[in-house]
A and B are shown apart, each in its own frame.
Chain A
Amino acid sequence: MERPSLHYLKELSCGNKLFEKKILKLLIEELPMEYNTYQQAINSNNYFWASETVHRIKHKIAFFQMQNALNVTEKHEFALRSGKLNFQEEFQDIVAKILKFLPERPE
């Protein structure tokens, strides 16, 4: 089963802990907010707005090196742009997995 990884961040930072902390802080702050925005958009049936938010979240998913999750998220984004909710449950599971991972990230 695919799991979030910080390998990309570790490789990018080349050991710069300050940079790693800065990026993780942004992710911890932004992902829950963006997911709330997504839910608001879905609840108000504004699928275009929801797709824009999924697009932003997609970059964060890519960051965690989850290729299958990224593919599913992209499909959900395109479905929303066509006014459909395909892959919504899968997308929600993916975000929940990452949100659970973030506070428990390995140091």
Chain B
Amino acid sequence: MTCIIVDDENVSREILNFLCEKEPGVEVVGNFSNAMDAFRFLNKEDVDLIFLDVHMPGFTGFDFIQTLKSSPYVILTTSDQNSALKAFEYESIIDFLTKPIDADRFKKSVKKVSKLLESGSSNTSNPKKSKASKNQLFINIDKRLIKINTDEIDLVEASGDYVRIKLENTDYKVHTSLTKLKEKLPSDTFFQVHRSYIINLKKIIDIQDNTVLIHKSVIPISRSKRGELMGKLNLI
């Protein structure tokens, strides 16, 4: 079983490393003091398990899980037992360990994950996101992960190798494709009206001929998309 440790505290990481070293069959393949570095690693490598601190500066462990396209199994580490209640919302969270971590409790947690892996139910091959995940988006801007509620997005516009995510008062330029971003948006709220535009249906002000007005932006509607768009609206 391969695992990574994500915790901003050195002592916590050292303790987890020590416990993992003593545990047969557990291999620590990465240690990260911040979510960003862990995120970059997981974009390239698969692991079976993450030991994840709930409380990290600027970014909780729960936020981190939601950024992952497919999350491995997670054991949360926390000093706050109330986090356990929130953990139930996330299918990838198998257990939580209260700090300071008890060695026997650690072993039981690892055994849980071990059994799941032996039974062939690897979480990375059957990814399940939390219920809340599609209502939030995390975008990578200047080495920061910024959280956006999808409800606040007016529209998305393709711009070369980038997309522009337009909110009422802000604009974000993100290095990705419209197709990839579309996968992360709730399909009942967002619709691609044109090869270069995805709109938030809830933000439509009016539709005239082959254009739709979203806030102050006039967006073209492809002929091929018009019928489908009309079908999605609550027309009288």
CB within 8 Å of B: which residues of A?
Answer: 8, 11-13, 16, 19, 22-23, 26-27, 30, 52, 55-56, 58-60, 62-63
Contact between chains at A56 and B103 (CB < 8 Å): no
List residues of chain A with CB within 8 A of the CB of B55.
Answer: 55
Tell me which residues across on chain B come within 8 A of A12, comparing CB atoms. Answer: 15, 18-19, 103
Q: Secondary structure at chain A's binding surface: helix, strand, loop or mixed?
A: helix
Known A12-B18, A52-B57: A60·B79 in contact at CB below 8 Å? no
Q: Using a Cβ cutoff of 8 Å, how many contacts connect chains A and B?
A: 37
Instruction: Specify which chain B residues have a CB less than 8 angstroms from the CB of A19 in the assembled complex.
Output: 14, 18
Q: Are A62 and B100 in contact (CB under 8 A)?
A: yes
B125 to chain A, nearest CB (A): 34
Determine whether the beta carbon of B11 is less than 8 Å from that of A60: yes
Rounded to whole angstroms, the CA-CA distance of A8 and B79 in the bound complex is: 16
B103 — which chain A residues lie within 8 A by C-beta? 11-12
Measured in the bound complex, the distance between the Cα atoms of B57 and A27 in whole Å is 20
Do residues B10 and A59 form an inter-chain contact, with CB atoms below 8 A?
no
Chain B residues closer than 8 Å to A62, beta-carbon distance: 79, 99-100
17 A–B contacts, CB within 8 A, in A order? A12-B103, A16-B18, A23-B14, A23-B15, A27-B11, A30-B11, A52-B57, A55-B79, A59-B9, A59-B11, A59-B79, A59-B99, A59-B100, A60-B11, A62-B79, A63-B11, A63-B100
